[in-house]
Amino acid sequence: MTQPAPVGVTMGDPAGIGPEIILRAWAYARADLPPFFAIGSPDVFTRRARDLGLALPYIAEGPPGPEEIFPHRLTVFPAHTDLNRPAIAGQPDSANAPAVKAAIEDGVRLCLSGQARALVTAPIAKSVMYEAGFDFPGHTEFLAALTATAEVTGPRGPAMMLAGGGLRVVLTSIHVPLRQAIEELSADRVEEIARLTHAALKRDFGLSAPRLALAGLNPHAGEGGTLGDEEENLLKPLTETLRAEGLMIAGPLPPDTMFHAEARESYDAAICLYHDQGLIPVKTLDFHGGVNITLGLPVVRTSPDHGTAFDIAASMTARPDSLIAAIRTAGEIAEHRAA
C-alpha cells in the first residue's frame, strides 16, 4: 500500500524560533506525528541542530527524502532561494526575506504536486518581510495568491480558524484595527464565513452535521437593540435565513457567555466578528497549543498560533507545543480530505 506523502513545514524567519521548534518537534514527538520534512535553508537547520545537541538533518537533493529516514533524522528540503546572509538567532535581517518567501512558495508547489500532503508554516515577521518588498498582509493572503488558479472543493477562502482547548473559532476580520473591523462588518461577509466554515467542518474535520454559533458584536448581543442595532438589523436576519436553508447556526449570542465549558458543548465552531473576540478565548484555554488553520484553500495549511519570538530565539528555550499540534492537525485534515 502506498504511504501518504509527508507534511511539509516551512522554516519561517530563520532568526526566529521556527527552525528550533521544528527540530524539537521532530526530536520529542516524531513517534506520535505524521512524517514531516522541513523546507528552507540547510545551513540554518544544521547550525540549530548542533546548538540543540540533536542529530544533524538529512539534506534532500531532490523531493523530500524517503520515509525511512524520518525516525532517525529530520529531512530538510532546500528552498529554491537560500539566505543572502548567515542567520543569527534573535537578529532578524530583511536581506533573508527572499529565502523565507521561497520556502513558502516551494511548500505550496510540493502540496499542489502531491509530494506533500499538507503545509505547516512556521512564523514569519511581517515587518521584516515588508522591508524587503513583500506586499501581502501575511501568510494567509500570500497562500491564497499562490493557489488562486488551483481548484477548490467547496467555497473558496481564505478564512482563519483558530483551534485550541477544544474550541474552534473562525474570524470574519483578521488583522485590522477594531474600528475598521466594525465599519466593514456586513451580512455578506458573515454569510460567506458561515458557509465556508460549514463546508470546512464537513470536509476537513469529518463532521456530517456541523453546528455553528455566531457571536454578537455588542454587549449582551445588543440587548434587543438598546446596546447597538447590528444584531437586530444585520445578524439575526442572516441566521434566520441560514437556518431556513438547513444550516444549524445559533445566534447572535452574547460574546461574554458563549465560551464557557457548558456553552462550548453546543457548537462545533464559533464565528467571531473581530480578531480578539476569537483569539482571547482560544489562547486562554490553550495558550501553548493553539493552531491556526486556513479554510477554503486547495492545500491543507496550518501554523502554530504564535510569532517569531526573536526575544528568546538565541536562548534555545522555545516550546514546540503549538507546532506539534499544527503538524498533527495538518495530518488529520489531510486524512479527512483524502477520505
CATH number at residue 259: 3.40.718.10
Return all residues near 298 (Cβ < 8 A) that are at least 6 apart: 112, 147, 150, 151, 152, 153
The torsion angles phi and psi of 179, rounded to 5 degrees, stand at -60, -45
- The whole-number pLDDT of residue 265 equals 96
- Claim to verify: residue 278 and residue 320 sit in the same structural domain: no
- Claim to verify: residue 259 and residue 311 sit in the same structural domain: no
Strand partners, 119: 8, 301
Pull the grid cell for residue 104: 513558502
Question: What distance in Å separates the CA atoms of residue 137 and residue 152, rounded to the nearest whole number?
Answer: 22
- Claim to verify: residue 89 and residue 223 sit in the same structural domain: no
- Claim to verify: residue 52 and residue 134 sit in the same structural domain: yes
Return all residues near 184 (Cβ < 8 A) that are at least 6 apart: 173, 176
- The whole-number pLDDT of residue 97 equals 94
- Claim to verify: residue 193 and residue 325 sit in the same structural domain: no
CB 290 within 8 A of CB 319: no
- Claim to verify: residue 137 and residue 221 sit in the same structural domain: no
- Claim to verify: residue 130 and residue 205 sit in the same structural domain: no
pLDDT in tens, the chain (339 residues): 567 899 999 999 999 999 999 999 999 999 999 999 999 999 999 999 999 999 999 999 877 767 789 999 999 999 999 999 999 999 999 999 999 999 999 999 999 999 999 999 999 999 999 999 998 888 888 999 999 999 888 889 899 999 999 999 999 998 888 899 999 999 999 999 999 999 999 999 999 999 999 999 999 988 888 888 999 999 999 999 999 999 999 989 999 999 999 999 999 999 999 999 999 999 999 989 999 999 999 999 999 999 999 999 999 999 999 999 999 999 999 999 998
- Claim to verify: residue 136 and residue 185 sit in the same structural domain: no
Task: Give per-residue pLDDT as tens, 99-134.
Answer: 999 999 999 999 999 999 999 999 999 999 999 999
Handedness of CA 29, 30, 32, 34 (dihedral sign): positive
- Claim to verify: residue 132 and residue 233 sit in the same structural domain: no
- Claim to verify: residue 140 and residue 21 sit in the same structural domain: yes
- Claim to verify: residue 113 and residue 12 sit in the same structural domain: yes
- Claim to verify: residue 248 and residue 273 sit in the same structural domain: yes
From 172, 176, 210, 164, select the one nearest 189 (Cα to Cα). Answer: 172
Domain count, the chain: 2
| Domain enclosing residue 110, as ranges | 1-152+300-339
CB 250 within 8 A of CB 267: yes
